[in-house]
């Protein structure tokens, strides 16, 4: 309850993003956080509104730039739990460069992508996650570009935590966000989050028919990177659950020699008030 605020989301009724909001709120409470320990940083898109819908520190950034902002927040205050979030257009098109480098940097934070295979806020254009042949206003004859495979890219980029879930499975999604928060390093959680208004192909029913929960796959071992990559490729990415976790690698901040243990935001500046005022004047 403490992560709820009084802002009413203006997502369409039935939008998958409601579940992601609820899962973040539940996961944060379940791992024992309080609102002042959490920052939610988002990009642009319907899903980008989420930073205003969780009672925590929030920053609604610009298109594709949630990750640089979130990484800066985390490095300035390592005591905060930082969640970045946005849509597949935000994170896998304009923001893809940041996504790949955030993955290989491995700062201790969580990135949740609400993947609806379309641009919803701008009223339904083909996104990097749309299937070949997908017809929208921007591809009226059907998309002729291949579909981006973000989780394979993440594994190939050295990801230490890769998971995928579905808005209909709030229990699994909440558990994966908890695991992502507790993972030391960068955790990527892709969420099939249907856009009920503009995507009439990748609907709740379509996902239910097409996804395989890894809990039902006998012998699946999320510490095996080759198996994770193979499973993703075999299923065209249509799997949910914890796909891969490497708990042996230290986070970026825990590898920097001399990186202060106290948050930068709380460091003693060791300058007098007078000198500080002088500095401020210089910047006016
Ligand atoms: Fe959700 Fe689609 Fe509506 Fe945006 S347009 S709020 S993604 S259902």
Q: Does residue 155 form part of some domain?
A: yes
Q: What is the pLDDT of residue 116?
A: 98
In 3D, which of 102, 132, 124 has the Cα closest to residue 45? 124
How remote is the CA of residue 14 from the centroid of ligand 1, in Å? 8
- For ligand 1, atom 1, name the residue with the nearest CA: 15
Q: Is the pTM of this model over 0.90?
A: yes
**pLDDT digit string (tens) for 241-266?**
999 999 999 999 999 888 877 888 78
Q: Does residue 215 form part of some domain?
A: yes
Q: What is the pLDDT of residue 270?
A: 80
Q: Does residue 223 form part of some domain?
A: yes
CATH for 104: 3.40.50.970
Q: Does residue 3 form part of some domain?
A: no
- Give the number of the atom of ligand 1 that is nearest the alpha carbon of residue 124: 5
Q: Does residue 275 form part of some domain?
A: no
Q: How many CA atoms lie within 13 A of 271 on its CB side?
A: 9
Which strand ranges, in their side-by-side order, compose the sheet holding 57-60?
Answer: 57-60, 38-42, 81-87, 109-115, 186-192, 161-166, 239-245, 212-213
Q: Does residue 282 form part of some domain?
A: no
Q: What is the pLDDT of residue 283?
A: 86
- Average pLDDT on 22-50 reads 97
Q: Tell me: pLDDT of 194 over 80.
A: yes
Q: What is the pLDDT of residue 144?
A: 97
Q: Say yes or no: CB of residue 18 within 6 Å of ligand 1.
A: no
How remote is the CA of residue 127 from the centroid of ligand 1, in Å? 14
How remote is the CA of residue 11 from the centroid of ligand 1, in Å? 6
Q: Does residue 11 form part of some domain?
A: no
How remote is the CA of residue 198 from the centroid of ligand 1, in Å? 7
Phi/psi for 245 (5° steps) reads -145, 130
* Alpha-carbon distances, residue 49 vs 40, 44, 60, 115, 222 (angstroms): 10, 8, 7, 15, 32
Domain span at 228: 17-256
Q: ipTM of this complex > 0.95?
A: yes
Number of folded domains that form the chain: 1
Q: Does residue 227 form part of some domain?
A: yes
**pLDDT digit string (tens) for 130-169?**
999 999 999 999 999 999 999 999 999 999 999 999 999 9
Query: Are the beta carbons of 199 and 16 closer than 8 angstroms?
Result: no
Q: For the chain, give the secondary structure using H, E and C.
A: CCCCCCCCCCCCCCCCHHHHHHHHHHHHHHCCCCHHHEEEEECCCHHHHHHHCCCCEEEECCCCCHHHHHHHHHHHCCCCEEEEEEEHHHHHHHCHHHHHHHHHHCCCEEEEEEECCEECCCCCEECCCCCCCCCCCCCCCCCCCCCCCHHHHHHHCCCCEEEEEECCCHHHHHHHHHHHHHCCCEEEEEEECCCCCCCCCCCHHHHHHHCEEHHHCCCCCCCCHHHHHHHHHHCCCCEEEEEEECCCCCCCCCCCCCCCCCCHHHCCCCCCHHHHHHHHHHHC
Q: Say yes or no: CB of residue 175 within 6 Å of ligand 1.
A: no
Query: Are the beta carbons of 18 and 191 closer than 8 angstroms?
Result: no
């Amino acid at each position: 309850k403490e992560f709820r605020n009084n802002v009413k989301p203006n997502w369409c009724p039935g939008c998958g993003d409601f579940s992601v909001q609820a899962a973040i709120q539940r996961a944060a409470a379940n791992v024992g956080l309080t609102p002042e320990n959490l920052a939610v940083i988002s990009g642009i898109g319907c899903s980008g509104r989420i930073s205003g819908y969780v009672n925590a520190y929030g920053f609604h950034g610009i298109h594709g730039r949630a990750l640089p902002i979130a990484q800066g927040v985390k490095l300035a205050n390592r005591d905060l739990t930082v969640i970045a979030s946005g849509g597949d257009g935000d994170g896998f098109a304009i923001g893809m460069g940041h996504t790949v480098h955030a993955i290989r940097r491995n700062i201790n934070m969580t990135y949740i992508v609400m993947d609806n295979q379309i641009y919803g806020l701008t009223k339904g254009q083909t996104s990097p996650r749309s299937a070949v042949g997908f017809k929208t206003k921007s591809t009226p004859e059907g998309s002729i570009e291949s579909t981006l495979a973000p989780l394979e890219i993440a594994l190939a980029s050295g990801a230490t935590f890769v998971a995928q879930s579905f808005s209909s499975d709030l229990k699994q999604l909440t558990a994966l966000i908890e695991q992502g928060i507790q993972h030391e390093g960068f955790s990527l959680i892709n969420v099939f989050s249907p856009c009920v208004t503009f995507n009439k192909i990748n609907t709740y029913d379509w996902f239910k028919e097409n996804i395989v929960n890894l809990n039902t796959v006998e012998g699946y071992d999320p510490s095996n990177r080759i198996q994770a990559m193979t499973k993703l490729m075999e299923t065209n990415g249509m799997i949910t659950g914890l796909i891969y976790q490497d708990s042996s690698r230290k986070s970026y901040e825990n590898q920097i020699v001399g990186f202060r243990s106290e948050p930068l935001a709380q460091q003693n500046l060791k300058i007098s008030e007078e000198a500080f005022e002088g500095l401020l004047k210089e910047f006016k």
